[in-house]
Amino acid sequence: MRTLMASAAIAVLAGCAVTPMALTKEEQSTKAQEDLAAVIQAGEAVTAPLALSDAMARAVRHNLELRVRQMETALSASQLDLSNYDMLPRLALSAGYTSRNNDAFGLGYQPNGTISSVPSAAVERSHATYNAALSWNILDFGASYYRAKQNADQVLVMEERRRRALQNLVLDVQLAWWRAEAAQRLLPQIDAMMVDIERGSERSRMIEARRLLPPLQIIAYRRSLLDLQQQLSTRRQELVQWRGEFADLVGLRPGEAYRVATPEQPQVALPDLIARIDDLEAMAIERRPELGEERYRERITALEGRKQILQLLPGLTLNAGANYDSNRFLINNQWNEAGALVSFNLLKLLSLPSVKRTTEASKQLDQARRLAITAAVMTQTRIAVNRYQLLKHELGVWDEALADDRSLVRAMRATQQSGLETELELIRAAARLAITQINRDVVHANLEHAMGRVMNSVGYDVVVADANVDETPTLARQLNTSLQQFFGENFGTKAPPPMQSVSIGEIHGLPPMVKREFTDSMLTVLRVARIPVAEQGGAVRTDVDVVFGAKQDSGRPVTLKVTLLGGNGQQVLQTAEMKSMLVEPVTSDQWKVLGEAAVFKVAENLRMLLGGGLKAAAEADTLSLTEGNTLKLDRRWTGPAPASQQP
């Protein structure tokens, strides 16, 4: 009998063994079709060119990675709901049925101590039991309470992560949109330019075959065309990839046709960052999601320490219940019971010092991590500001290069009929113009991204908490308003600081009859350089010393020393020296050239001193120039003295 039962048990266990089962091709195909249909259905048809705010709205609504973050937040909220139920008392209902094949007879003791010879039983062969018990452990309630508070903070942690994911998504879309806009505009130009390069290469082979130009010149020209063609091909691959990346961010189906809305007005004047860096850093420390997450984690750690200490206290369990037993031999088949139980693990108290040390170490770790992230956030904010300034300057350089290339192409087209060389060079110049245009637009996209990076580094929420994300047009308008608000508050066109004036001071060493011509030539250069001139009392005074050397066969050497003075002529800001040779007889033109040279020598540093106001320059460390044209910092001079202090 036992052998039969053992064999049956082994057979049942063998039948329940689990083995790996791969999906069939039909199942994989079905799942693939379902996933593809879900992705396509989640999308939204593109019916008009996408503006920047429209692209951001689509990304917020349809980006799958952001949706994962939202699901994580929802999961944390569900776990919080579950933890709230853990604080309730336990109400357990139980029912049982017992049956045996014989009676539970037994022999009992009689009052005189002897064993009865007549067996008896107080339990039926088959009977049922029912029980409803309510129990509440005070210690478990306290631990569940702290666990629920930790889960509540965990929900806020996931919300901060969702904020961070949303901010990063907005930043990525901003870069991708400007790149897609550049790609949409430049790809047709590149395709046309590639055709022109091929045509120019074929034409160069014909010219080489007919020996219309030197062979080395034709080969060098064709090789330069190949270099330009390679550069254009590389850039074309980048532009095509940018369009794909943008489509992925905004939730478009791969390969779906779309267009990007062209900006209404090209931005001529690049905006300046008008916000103070200290204010941006303070905003970043207050708003960044990473720091918000760390602050919540610090609260979670503190609650964990309290929970660990609470579990060392005595536990009190209260219980009450109703019972029923169908055994007919019982006098009371129904009864109620209540009780209380106190338990205290004394040995666990030995871990109290360790618990305190662990809690304190966790708090110190949280604080150190929060301070490290704070320093990193401040650094990121400054880097974002510096990157914007650098890219702004770089874009200005590319704008100048683009203007020069356009002027060159226009000039060459005007003279195209002059010869074969000009015609071939025109193709090469046009290709260089296309590459310059691409490089310029890439820098412009990076500049727009840098503006968004400043917004991202301070933790600015473009999508507010009460935004309606169910309608793309409504969300797009709200996003556009938020973007305009941030950029309007922190970026703008700064009025250039008023440039102070310079005055011509004392001129020593010149013959009296030529001082007038010398001074007029200095004033002419200052006027061309757009440096304000005052007859006297300028913020900077220019003194000139002219020292003549002995006459030589080649002429008469002359040493020109120019001194810039500030602080009412009491502080030397710059000295510069140059040597020249005057040809006898010395004409008035030579004196004029010498006067012009005196200003040219110091014009750049003079503009630096006057451009931002001398007081501001002094507060930011005044630049001065000593002998040998070596720049150094001079903190002593603070600009012209107030009128009450001037002698």
pLDDT in tens, 317-335: 888 889 998 888 888 889 8
Ranked by mean pLDDT, the top range of 85-89, 455-459, 548-552 is 455-459
Asked if residue 428 belongs to a domain, the reply is: yes
Q: Contact at 8 Å (CB) between 564 and 542?
A: yes
Mark whether 274 and 387 lie in a shared domain: yes
Mark whether 450 and 513 lie in a shared domain: no
User: Is the per-residue pLDDT at 623 higher than 70?
Assistant: no
Domain end position, chosen among 425, 460, 492: 492
Mark whether 506 and 469 lie in a shared domain: no
Name which of 406, 490, 14, 428 is nearest 200 in CA terms.
428
Asked if residue 158 belongs to a domain, the reply is: no
Segment 42-69 shows an average pLDDT of 74
Q: Count how many domains the chain has.
A: 2
Name which of 221, 232, 231 is nearest 428 in CA terms.
221
Q: What is the secondary structure of 261-291 as a DSSP string?
A: PPPSS---SPPEE-S-HHHHHHHHHHH-HHH
Mark whether 511 and 553 lie in a shared domain: yes
Asked if residue 133 belongs to a domain, the reply is: no
Mark whether 615 and 486 lie in a shared domain: no
pLDDT tens for each residue of 184-232 = 988 998 888 888 888 877 877 887 777 777 778 778 878 888 888 888 8
Tokens of 585: 């007889």
Q: What is the secondary structure of 120-159 as a DSSP string?
A: B-SS-SEEEEEEEEEEEEHHHHHHHHHHHHHHHHHHHHHH
Strands of the sheet containing 126-137, edge to edge, are 90-99, 126-137, 315-325, 334-343
Mark whether 391 and 482 lie in a shared domain: yes
Mark whether 178 and 237 lie in a shared domain: yes
Range of the domain at 424: 168-243+262-285+374-492
The bridge status of strand 315-325 relative to strand 126-137 is: antiparallel
Asked if residue 565 belongs to a domain, the reply is: yes
Asked if residue 433 belongs to a domain, the reply is: yes
Confidence band, pLDDT 50/70/90 cuts, at residue 285: very high
pLDDT value at position 647? 30
What CATH number is associated with residue 582?
3.30.160
Asked if residue 48 belongs to a domain, the reply is: no
Asked if residue 409 belongs to a domain, the reply is: yes
Mark whether 182 and 210 lie in a shared domain: yes
Does the CA dihedral 103-104-106-108 come out positive or negative?
negative
User: Is the per-residue pLDDT at 428 higher than 70?
Assistant: yes
Mark whether 587 and 618 lie in a shared domain: yes
The bridge status of strand 491-492 relative to strand 315-325 is: unpaired
Q: Contact at 8 Å (CB) between 52 and 174?
A: yes
Residue with tokens 């874009």: 395
Poorest-confidence range of 67-76, 144-153, 408-417? 67-76
First to last CA, the chain: 126
Which residues lie closer than 8 Å to 224 by C-beta, 6 or more apart? 428
353 vs 356: CA distance, rounded Å: 5
162 vs 292: CA distance, rounded Å: 12
pLDDT value at position 622? 31
Mark whether 610 and 578 lie in a shared domain: yes
498 vs 531: CA distance, rounded Å: 11
User: Is the per-residue pLDDT at 3 higher than 70?
Assistant: no
Domain end position, chosen among 474, 492, 510: 492
Name which of 597, 566, 577, 561 is nearest 502 in CA terms.
566
Mark whether 454 and 520 lie in a shared domain: no
Asked if residue 135 belongs to a domain, the reply is: no
Share of the chain above pLDDT 70, in %: 81
Mark whether 513 and 605 lie in a shared domain: yes
Domain end position, chosen among 465, 492, 519: 492
